[in-house]
Each structure stands twice: as C-alpha cells, then as structure tokens.
Structure 1
Amino acid sequence: MPSPADEPPCREPVAVVLDLDKPVPDALRGAVLALGNFDGVHRGHAELARVAAAMARNLGTRPAAFTFEPHPRSVFRPEEPVFRLTSPQLKLEGLAQAGFAQVFVLPFDRDIAAIPAERFVDDLLVGRLGAAGLVCGYDFHFGKGRTGSPETLQAHGLAADIPIAVVPPLSWQGEPVSSTLIRAALAEGDVARAAAFLGRPWTVRGLVVHGDKRGRDLGYPTANMHLARDCRLRHGIYAVRMRIDGVWHDGVASFGSRPTFDDGAPRLETFVFDFSGDLYGKRVDVAFVDWLRGEAKFDSLEALVAQMDADSARAREILAKTPPFLP
C-alpha cells in the first residue's frame, strides 16, 4: 500500500449503504466482492484488494469492498468499544486508495448478526448483490454465531459456480499483519511500527476546538482535538504532520491528560511549526510519524517550556528526514 508520500490525493469510492428491504440496482451488481471489516485498511487488506482486482480483470468486471458499520463489537459489547483504527470516512478513503471504486456498507445490528451464514452467502452476496466472485482473508467469519468461515464461502461459491479466493496471512517484518497487532503498537506509542504494518502513518481526523489557551501563553499555541473515546493511543509526545486545507505541515503533538495542569479528559494538542492562522472550526488530519517521549508532570512552567523547546527541536529533526506527504 502506498504511503502519504507517494499516494495520489484522497478520493472517495462510491459508497452504497445496503437496505435489505430494497433491491440493489442492476448497475451495482456483478462485482468481485472483497469481504471484511477493513479497520485500518492495512497491508493485509491491500493484499485482499490486489487479489480481488486480479480476479475481476479475469472475469471482465470490477472489484468492490463489502464491509460492516458499526464494528460488530460496538453492538454486542458497547461498554467495551474496540479501538477503531479508522473512522468510517477514513476507512472509505483508505479503501479507495487500495483500489476499490465501490464499497458496499451493511449497517450492522443484531438482526444482521442473526442471519445464518448460508443465507448470508446465498441470499445476500450471491443473490442480492450478484457477486461474480468472492475474496476474503483466512480468518474471516460471519453469520449467526460467527459460524460462517472461508470454507463456508468456498462450498457455497462452488455451488453457485463463482470463484472464491481465500487470502493467507500477509507477513511484514516477520509478523502477520493484523488490526490487533497495529492497535497494540499504538497502545505502546510505537507509531512508527504501526505505520510499517499500515503501509502509511496512522492518521486521525477531527475538528479543531477551543482549549484553555495555555499553549498560547507559553509560546506554543496548539490546535486542540478530541479523539474518539475508544482511542487507546499511548499518552505522550509525538512528531506529527497536520493536513490543513489539503496541505501537510510539520508539527509536534501531545496526546494525554495534561498532568502539569489539570489531569483532564484526554485531548490531542498539536503545535504546527511556522504556521499562523485561525484553525478553530476546521476539520484537519493529524498523521503520527514518531514517538518522542511519555507524558510527564513538571514542577514549573519554565521546566515545561524548556522540554517543549527540546521536543520541538527533536520533532523537526525527525520530520526533516521524513519524505514529504502529497496533499
């Protein structure tokens, strides 16, 4: 998968939200469907996209992704939300960059979860969507009680006379790529390792909101963002880039509870180097490039500012060696 340094500008696929009470237009039927949750749209998902594209070329059709929203765990265990690597919007953009011009989104709820696996394949994928072929990962499970498996797809694909491809685990740096592995890396603050498995820096999107203005008083005005409550990124200081109005800018960011001041709710605060302008109310992207240090409490504002100076200098050094990102 390309990195932000060499990928084309973000584009969105045609997203089709499925309504099982309505027929699917003929123009949308007949694709090779790659199946999965696709959280993170990582290198393993890019391999699914590659296999689906190859199958589609052989069949003279197009590849499309088939995914679920929200994440099934949020339906069954809302008190323990999964750490989502990508918001629905960023997931769509990632799927587009992986090569999918079309994405089917099935709204997930308990009624969908209760559909038997066999009916899911025969009635929905083959019947309603007219799948020309199906592609899934080796660990894909679906249907009531998660009883559907790649073997289920293969058996029903054979009966429907359509090709099925099961993609084995993709190894990168000696480890099988997975969303779980990437979440664990981010929980440790190892954003560089997460980026290696994603194929690009981990990125969040959010609205810049008003903060307490302390950074401005200290000479470090920050753009403040609230991340999703399920975010498990390690609290600390990071070298980052922020995309503002389509342009990437270098910066340094703190994610955490501000122990020197209030130990408040976690917040992302980004100081954008060499930038002046009003960011309040803007929707921006922040890409995490490298870890600098853990969150710390300082005995004085002078000590805090001295550390911020050092953090900024170190972030500038790291980012100077990092290839630029395209818009």
Structure 2
Amino acid sequence: MTMLHRNWRDVPQEARGAILALGNFDGVHLGHVHLLRALHAARPDRPLGVLTFEPHPRELFRPEDPPFRLSLSAERFDALRRHGVAHVFEVPFDRDFSLLSPEQFVEEVLHRGLGAVHLACGADFAYGHRRGGNVATLAVQAERLGIGLTVVPALADAGGPFSSSRIRRALLDGYPERATEELGRPWAVRGVVAHGDKRGRLLGFPTANLALGRHLEPARGVYAATVRLPDGTARHGVANIGRRPTVADTPESRLEVNLFDFDGDLYGQELCVSLHTLLRAEKRFDGLDALKAQIAADAAWARDYLQRHKPL
C-alpha cells in the first residue's frame, strides 16, 4: 500500500527512515523510473519513497505561463504507486517553503522532518532558495548528517535524455505516440465531467466534457482515445481538444470525448482520458452538416485505429 504524506513536519513514525528520490516527477516517465530503480538497488532494505512538490515550483514563480503539467497530483501518485513507491511525500510548495536555504532544506526537511537514510537525484538536481544547492553541496550536507546519496545519470536514447520537457514538446507537436514511448504508458488527462452545451448530443455524438485545467494543452484536434471509468473499466472513444471553431469558438480549449457503445450518465464523475494518436488537426467547417459528417468519419477512423492497435 502506498501512503501519501502532505505535511513534512508531522510524518508518522512508520514513514520515517525511507530512501527518497528527489524531484518534481512530472509525468513519471521512464527517466524517473530509472531513478527509482537505481535508488532501490542502492538500498533494497528500506522502503522506497519520493519527495516531490505541489504545486510545481514553476507554477508559483511563473504563474503567467500557460498550463504545462503532464500529470497532476492524483495521476502522479497512481503512477508512482504502480512503480512500487511506498511513501509519496508531496511537500506544499509555497512562498515560505521556497525561502528555505539549501542547508535548511536538507537539515530540517530531509533529515529532521522525514528521517531520510538515503537520497537519489539526477545530476542536474537543484534545491533551496534560488536553487542555491546542487549535487555537490547535497553530497557534503548528506555525508555530514549520515545520509547516503546516489547521483543517477540521466536515462537517454538517440534523441537525448528522457525529460518532461521532451514529452511536452512531443504532445505540443501532435505526437502522443512519442509521449507514450517515453512515459511507458499513454499520456492522460484526468478530470471531472462537467455539463456542456449539449451540442454533441444534438449532433448524434454525446460527449463527456473535461476542463484541461492545469494540464498541458496538446496539439488541438481529434484523437483516438481510451477512457478509464471510475469503476476501473475502460472504453474506446474519440476525443476532441480545442475551441470548437464551428459551433462555439470558445476562448479556452477543452476536452470532449465520445465513448463508443456507451449510454450512461457520467456527470460529476472522474474520468481518465488517454490519447493515442492525433487523427486530424482542429478546423472550422462550413455548417453543422459538414461537421456532423466529419465527426462520423473521425469516430470510424478512431474505432479502426484502436481495434488494430488494441491499447487497452
């Protein structure tokens, strides 16, 4: 069982003494998994933990930036759980926390607060006020406190190191397949179904509507998708991400997904929508009849793709 801890000052005794991987873990991609495995190999006798932050520090320091997150808290927690993490320490990252010096972060948070016995991070890890600490200072501080440290070289392929930034670029460019390869699973948006304008139902394709919120907005268009329902079952479907220029041209993009062969009430329920391939880019159509015909073609195209690739 994986435990989530959000208060580093009041950690239960059974969570102390873990080995900790340090970082934001946005997306929990294969590079992160590589880090977790290296940490476990260094100290297999101790429970595996992760120290991460919520919100992402960039959200605090650059609030004017467009949303960029690959995974929010719940999705990140589930991904870490699937990779054998016993304790997720999700530290609230606020202005006061950002002012901690590198020495305070190691002494007060890692040592006194969490009782860490061994740490692991990438070679570019930085911490403390104004990112004043690095792996060299961490090594000195950890040794002084009797904490082990493993600095893990980045996992890389022909394209370079695996990174959250590289996965974001793949999604922005319209290549969810590349994101799937680097995440080790399809990229997904998790959210609660909200009421829309019911236009999908009028067009013969009822959709579940999810706000992208703080998720990255990938390339706008129509995707073959799978949808994980609250009971754990999954359905094939076709999803649209964009501003719906033919019928609404809304100022904010949203995700609409039609679940194939499904007739149920999903309002207020949390869905996890995975994107598999971009079928076409967003475009404006000359009237609702043309849009309806294209939606039918999109659905047939998505069905064919998902039946051939069997992503479930």
Do both share a fold (TM > 0.5)? yes
Pick aligned residue for 2:101 from 111, 116, 139: 116
Structure 2 counterpart of 1:18, one-letter code: N
Could you list the per-position Cα deviations for residues 186-215 of structure 1 after superposition, in whole angstroms to 9, with x for gaps in the alignment?
A: 111211111111111001111112212221
Q: Distance in 2 between matches of 1:165 and 1:139?
A: 13
**Structure 2 equivalent of residue 7 of structure 1:** none
2:289 alignment counterpart: 302
2:57 maps to 1:68: no
Q: Would you say how many aligned residue pairs link Structure 1 and Structure 2?
A: 310
- Give identity over the alignment, percent: 47
| CA RMSD, 1 decimal | 1.6
CA distance in 2, matches of 1:303, 1:203: 29
Q: Distance in 2 between matches of 1:106 and 1:229?
A: 18
Matches within 5 A, 1:187-206: 187-206=172-191
Give, in angstroms, the shift of residue 223 of structure 1.
1.1
Decide which of 1, 8, 15 is 2:4's aligned counterpart. Answer: 15
User: Does structure 2 retain, via aligned residues, the 8 Å contact 1:201–1:288?
Assistant: yes
Distance 2:164 2:154 in 1: 12
Q: Partner letter of residue 24 of structure 2?
A: N
1:126 positional shift: 2.2
1:35 corresponding residue in structure 2: 22
TM-score (norm 1): 0.90
Q: Following the alignment from structure 1 to structure 2, what is the Cα–Cα distance between the partners of residues 61 and 154? A: 20
Conserved? CA contact 2:175–2:277, under 8 Å: yes
TM-aligned CA deviation for residue 69 of structure 1:
0.9
One-letter amino acid matched to 1:160? L
CA distance in 1: counterparts of 2:14 and 2:214, whole angstroms: 39
Q: Deviations over 1:276-297 (max 9, x none)?
A: 1122222111000111110011
Matched residue, 1:166: 151
Q: Could you tell me how far 1:162 is from its partner in structure 2?
A: 3.0
Q: Relative to structure 1, is the Cα distance of residues 172 and 144 closer, same or farther in structure 2, using a 3 angstrom cutoff?
A: same
- 1:256 correspondence with 2:242: yes
| Whole-angstrom CA distance in 1 between matches of 2:239 and 2:48 | 38
- 1:6 maps to none
The 5 A counterparts of 1:96-115 are 96-115=81-100
2:48 counterpart letter in structure 1: P
Counterpart pick for 1:316 among 303, 307, 310: 303
8 Å contact 1:42–1:197 — kept in the other structure? Answer: yes
3-state DSSP of counterpart to 1:119: helix
Contact 1:31–1:56 at 8 Å: present in 2 too? no
Distance 1:144 1:53, change over 3 A: same
How far off is 1:42 after superposition?
Answer: 0.7
Structure 1 CA distance for aligned equivalents of residues 214 and 102 of structure 2: 32
State whether residues 33 and 133 of structure 1, in contact with CA within 8 Å, keep that contact through their aligned partners in structure 2: yes
Shift of 1:173: 5.0
The alignment partner of 2:127 has SS state of coil
The alignment's TM-score, normalised by the length of structure 2, stands at: 0.94
CA contact (8 A) 1:172 1:197 kept: no
CA offsets per residue over residues 234-258 of structure 1, 9 Å max, x none?
1100000011231110011111111
Aligned pairs (5 A) from 1:108-257: 108-229=93-214, 231-244=216-229, 245-257=231-243
Rounded Cα–Cα distance in structure 2 between residues aligned with 1:193 and 1:157: 37
Cα distance in structure 2, aligned partners of 1:96 and 1:173? 29
Is contact 1:73-1:81 (8 Å) kept?
no
Alignment deviations for residues 154-198 of structure 1 (CA, whole Å, 9 cap, x no partner): 222222333211111111453311111111111112111111111
Distance in 2 of aligned mates of 1:163 and 1:87:
30
